Amino acid sequence: MADPAIRLTHTDLLHVHQNYEDAASLVKLVYVNDAQPGISRIKAGKGFSYKYHNRTLKDKSQIERIKKLVIPPAWENVWICPLPNGHIQATGFDVRKRKQYRYHTRWQVIRSETKFHHLYEFGKKLPLLRKQVRRDLQLPGLPENKVIALVISLMEHTLIRIGSNEYEKLNGSYGLTTLKDKHVAVSGDNLRFSFKGKKGVVHDIKLHHRKLAKLVKQCRDIPGKELFQYYDDQGMHRSLDSGMVNRYIKEITGDEFTAKDFRTWAGSVQALQAFCALEAAGTATLCRKNIVAVLDQVSARLGNTRAVCKKYYVHPGLIRLYEEKQLPKYREQLNAPAGASKTGLSSEEMTLMKLLRLMNRGIAST
């Protein structure tokens, strides 16, 4: 079962998007966790031995399976699933004490499929979310929902990650909700964000936007180091965090979307634009070269590596459609006058929605 997800319908994939046990069952896996009894790894000379129920593991097939997981030697407190079809195959802690996972390949496939099939549902809810953001940006003062709306609007314009307090504490890296006053410069209608992001990547992002610049300046004027704060009902200033932004998104859309979906959406929109700007490749070599160029273009915009961009932020169906020379015919639709005032989506986004709808219907081709 190299790719079990191709047997599932769009409806199936939407159902299992947040139903992990059902997702595992659909691809013949067992949903497990590392609180259950597992195989432990013990240092033995230059290598390792393994124990299960305090007995040294001698089963050659089990040991071979474990070796194929390629668990880093530096991991500590390693737990290995005794089942070859457990959705998690191993866990451990790296040298920085961060918990890491090794998942079954079939689990990785179905999670990738469900994520990208969920993108169509995100596109359907995006106009509603944008409408509420515009409303909340009009609220008087700087209440919680207005500052959340500001962060979401900035996220759409800049594609800066949402950020988390954990990453800030562990790595000294920042995202929108953890930015400090020192990370932004405001000059009239211009914003400039300068900070160290995930993986130590230094970001220098400029934005020209009168309304957002004005609101960012107001936030920066609130006492305290944190850039994005709000005033509660008692007039006390409070810090914003990523959980509050994600709750807002979920409440407005009525679905399990998060800030990360904006980056996946933007990555796929930008990839579609880039692919459609290219002529159909005459050779397989040129096709591969063009795909790499597009992924590099999108990854530069998102601040990711090419591999991460391809795996998490560009719908794989778009790459396959380019390989099959199916995208050039959508070029005119991309350049059509935007209907955002009626649909809440740009012409590029409407074209992506059309393609997502077609790909979801014909799942075997995605």
Closest C-alpha among 180, 265, 192 to residue 228: 180
User: Which residue of the set 120, 230, 248, 313 is catalytic?
Assistant: 313
Query: For 159, what's the count of Cα atoms within 13 Å in the CB-facing half-sphere?
Result: 18
DSSP 208-243: E-HHHHHHHHHHHTSSSSBSSEEE-TTS-EEE--HH
Rg (CA), the chain: 23
Q: Identify residue 311 by its one-letter amino acid code.
A: K
Grouping H, G, I as helix, E, B as strand and the rest as coil, residue 366 is coil
230 catalytic? Reply is: no
Direct distance between the N- and C-terminal alpha carbons of the chain, in angstroms, rounded to an integer? 17
DSSP 125-157: HHHHHHHHHHHHHTSSS--HHHHHHHHHHHHHH
Q: Which two tokens stand for residue 131?
A: 């409408």
Element (H, E) at 195: strand 190-196
Contact 252, 128 (CB under 8 A): yes
Cα→Cα distances 209→133, 135, 183, Å = 16, 17, 17
Query: For 141, what's the count of Cα atoms within 13 Å in the CB-facing half-sphere?
Result: 12
Closest C-alpha among 228, 248, 232 to residue 240: 228
Catalytic positions, written as ranges: 313
